[in-house]
Every structure is written in C-alpha cells, then in structure tokens.
Structure 1
Amino acid sequence: MPKVSRHLAQLRNCGLLIDRRDGQWVYYFLAPVLPRWIEDVLKAAQQGQTERLALLQNRLVSMGNRPERRFSMC
C-alpha cells in the first residue's frame, strides 16, 4: 500500500486529485476541473474497460458505506 499512497499523493500534488480525511480513511476524488487531455484519457480508459469497471463497481457497492460500517462496530 505505501506505493499506492505515494502515487495518490503525487496525483494530488499535480492537482488531478483532491482528498478528504475521515479518521483513518482518506477518500480521493478527481479534481473538479481537469485538463482536457486528462478527460480524454479517462474516457478512453472507461470505454476500453467497461466490463471490468462494472465488476469493480459491483464490488464497491457490496462493501457498503465504510463510515457507516465503522460506526456500527462501536
């Protein structure tokens, strides 16, 4: 995970991501304003990986809301 964190930090430092911290969790989001070429790259990736993205989306949905799960354990 340290490499992932470093890569996310680099993307945040470049202005491509923003983050929000909630306890031990850090939530990353695409920056609201992106260069046009980034939007083109993301659209191309989405078009080429629609099936895989759908599977990943289903996995995320099945995990539920992390903050809600955390509070239910307290």
Structure 2
Amino acid sequence: MLISGTSDVIRLLADPMRARIIDLLADGPACTCHLVEDTGAKQPNISNHLRALRDAGLVTAEPRGRFTYYRLVPDALDGVAGHLRELAERARTNAGTPRECP
C-alpha cells in the first residue's frame, strides 16, 4: 500500500463516490466508461478517484487495447477489514473497563 496506513485507507473509502467505485469493481473489472455510466459522474471525476484508489493500492489498472480496466486488489481490502476486526475485538474486550479519570 502506497499511502501511510489503514486509517488513511478508511478515510479514503469514506468518500461516497470512492465507496461506490469500490462497490462496482467488486462485481469485476471495469473501464472508466463503465464507471461513468454506472455512477453518472463526469469522466475526470472518476479518473481522479481511480488515481487515489490506485495510489492507495486498492485498485490496479490493466490496459486492454484502447481501454484501461480497473480491478480491486482483494488483499488490500482484507488488510483494512482485518484492522477493523481487530478494533471491534478490542472494543468487545474492553467494553466493561472504563478508563479512570485523573
């Protein structure tokens, strides 16, 4: 992953359009024209979001003739999911142990 950490990826995915792109790519590789059609967003907007997702290591680009197809990197998503699972487990473990006030 090229950005600094899991919290940055979570923040990146908090953007509704990026979350929608991730959701669409979960159904298989797609080119920018598909994502423009499916989201109703402008092509430059989709391209900017795809660049951010590529920089984060969540998406890869695959040239196919005149088009570039984008696909999800499942291992990157597993890393984020694992971090969230760890946070949930810590919350369960520590739910009954409030911190003492100074």
**Shared fold (TM-score greater than 0.5)?**
no
Structure with more contact order per residue of length (Cα contacts < 8 Å, sep ≥ 6): 2
TM-score by length of structure 2 reads: 0.33
TM-score (norm 1): 0.44
Task: Write 1 or 2 for the structure with the bigger share of helix.
Answer: 1
- Which structure is larger by alpha-carbon Rg, 1 or 2? 2
